[in-house]
Amino acid sequence: MRKMGIKTYQRDEFIKLLGIDERTLRYYEEFGLLKGTKKRGRRIYGESDLALLNFLKDLKCVGLSYSEIKKFARVGEISRMKSEKEMLKLCSLLEGTLEKIESKIEELKILKENFLDLKQELGDFETFDLPRFSSPQIQIYTL
């Protein structure tokens, strides 16, 4: 749907574009992360809503809590206010998030190496020791 050159999305289309379910969208709305606009009894979302929710999904993927994600949802408000104090808070929040991302990357690298080692062992059926599969060493694969 286009109105005055601005692309808008109805709820079903918006959900499909984001790859989320109805419940998740409702949760984001109830938590105050997303508002949308109500027109003629239907909720309509714009390009800015789409960009924001994609960004918030990325933050969730990193492992941030909804409380932490909510702070990032204010990015647009902060950039309009141009308050130095708020900008410093945002920079600090970004720095903490970057540290979490780096930590997650390191964890995933270790996990990848462990899986590659296991795959190599599984490929050599003659030397693969089945009881070892349940050893504490293998338990690191539990997420």
The pLDDT profile of the chain, 143 residues, written as one tens digit per residue, is 555 567 889 999 999 999 999 998 998 888 888 887 878 878 899 888 888 888 888 888 888 887 888 777 766 555 555 677 777 877 888 888 899 889 989 999 999 999 999 988 888 766 555 555 444 444 444 44
| Residues 72, 55 contacting (CB under 8 angstroms) | yes
Structure tokens, 71: 């702070």
How far apart CA 132 and CA 61 sit, in angstroms, is 32
Query: What is the domain partition of the chain in residue ranges?
Result: 1-62
Strand partners of residue 45 = 9
Strand order, beta sheet including 42-46: 2-3, 6-10, 42-46, 37-39
* CB neighbour class for 132 (10 Å; exposed up to 12, middle 13-18, buried from 19): exposed
What's the CATH fold of domain 1-62? Multidrug-efflux Transporter Regulator; Chain: A; Domain 2 (1.10.1660)
